[in-house]
Amino acid sequence: MINLAVLGNPIAHSRSPEIHGLFAQQFGMALDYQKVLVSEHGLAEAVAELVRQGVRGCNITVPFKSQARALCDEVKGDAIGLGVINTLDFTPNGTVYGYNTDAQGLITDLKDHLEQSIQDRRVLLIGAGGAAQGVVPALLREGPETLHVWNRTPQRAEQLVQLVPSSELEAKTLEQLDEQYDLIINASAAGLQGSAPDLPRRVIGPNSFCYDLSYSDSETPFLRWASGLGAMHRADGFGMLIEQAAAAFHIWFGLLPDTQVVRTEILS
């Protein structure tokens, strides 16, 4: 039996066990993937306990992605520089590697499944937490005309853009959000509290593609808000969740699951 886990707070909503279970089935693997609710200062202890139990690796979710950096012996791939971790790889010799697969998940979902190009488009990113930090470098690599960041606490948006200097990347205050965007990506955790971020309606037009990293069985509050303002094209982050999970599965086992099969199975 191979053991994996996802650590976060809240955690009950996570669909990661189901997704990884379906990946494991594709390769005939016996897998136990548990959800672990972690207290505010309990991440280090929770990870140490997983290592003691011989767990192969874990995913890290809200609000621990920045804290997880301190638990890694080495950070790899997209996580280098920003230090926002969503995947820990516990190797047999005791070395803990940290990765971030969120960006790969988002870009694959947007481009391959939703046919949304980022190149030359005006993009608004909402949020400056772990998820937003993790996806900024990959969004910039796609060549947007502009990438504006708005966060409820403006100083965090400022800090984020300073981490990744780029002429396309700018932090905006609410008052400075005075244009319509082609692509609006909600990377805030407002949806977990059942609300939408408090944005001016002028940022949305009928052709704005609205993407919410949050996901739920019914339309998320942000997507409901966008729909109410006439945005015709909307998607939640369930596709991203499947794609980032596939990238983590590849890190742990060197195997790439067929994500389309899992999409069809879960969404049907």
Q: For the CB of residue 71, give the shortest distance to ligand NAP in the complex, in Å.
A: 16
The site for ligand NAP (CB under 6 A) is made up of 62-63, 65, 102, 105, 127-132, 151-153, 156, 187-193, 195, 197, 213-215, 237, 240-241, 244
Chain position whose Cβ is nearest to ligand NAP: 129
The nearer residue to ligand NAP, 95 or 219, going by C-beta atoms, is 219
Annotated catalytic residue: which of 35, 65, 111, 172?
A: 65
| Residue placing its CB nearer to ligand NAP in the complex, 104 or 208 | 104
d(CA 175, CA 150): 10
> Does residue 111 carry a catalytic annotation?
no
Q: Cα separation of 111 and 9, whole Å?
A: 30
- Whole-number minimum distance, CB 254 to ligand NAP, in Å? 22
Tokens representing residue 9 in the block: 């707070």
Judged by CB, which is closer to ligand NAP: 6, or 187?
187
Side chain identity at 250, as an amino acid letter? H
62 vs 229 by CB, closer to ligand NAP: 62
Cβ distance to ligand NAP smaller for residue 132 or 210: 132
Min CB(129)–ligand NAP separation in Å: 2
Nearer to ligand NAP, 30 or 154 (CB): 154
Q: What is the nearest approach in angstroms of ligand NAP to the Cβ of residue 38?
A: 13
Provide the minimum distance between the beta carbon of 157 and ligand NAP in the complex, in angstroms, as a whole number. 8
Give the neighbor-by-neighbor strand order of the sheet with 122-126: 169-171, 146-150, 122-126, 183-186, 209-212, 233-236
DSSP output for the chain: -EEEEEEESS-TT--HHHHHHHHHHHTT--EEEEEEE--TT-HHHHHHHHHHHT--EEEE-TT-TTGGGGG-SEE-GGGTTT---SEEEE-TTS-EEEE--HHHHHHHIIIIIS----TT-EEEEE--SHHHHHHHHHHHHT--SEEEEE-SSHHHHHHHHHHS--TTEEE--TTT--S--SEEEE-SSGGGGT------GGG--TT-EEEES---SS--HHHHHHHHTT--EEEETHHHHHHHHHHHHHHHHS----HHHHHHHHH-
In single-letter form, the type of residue at position 201 comes to R
In the complex, minimum distance from the CB of residue 145 to ligand NAP, in angstroms, rounded to a whole number: 23
Active site residues: 65
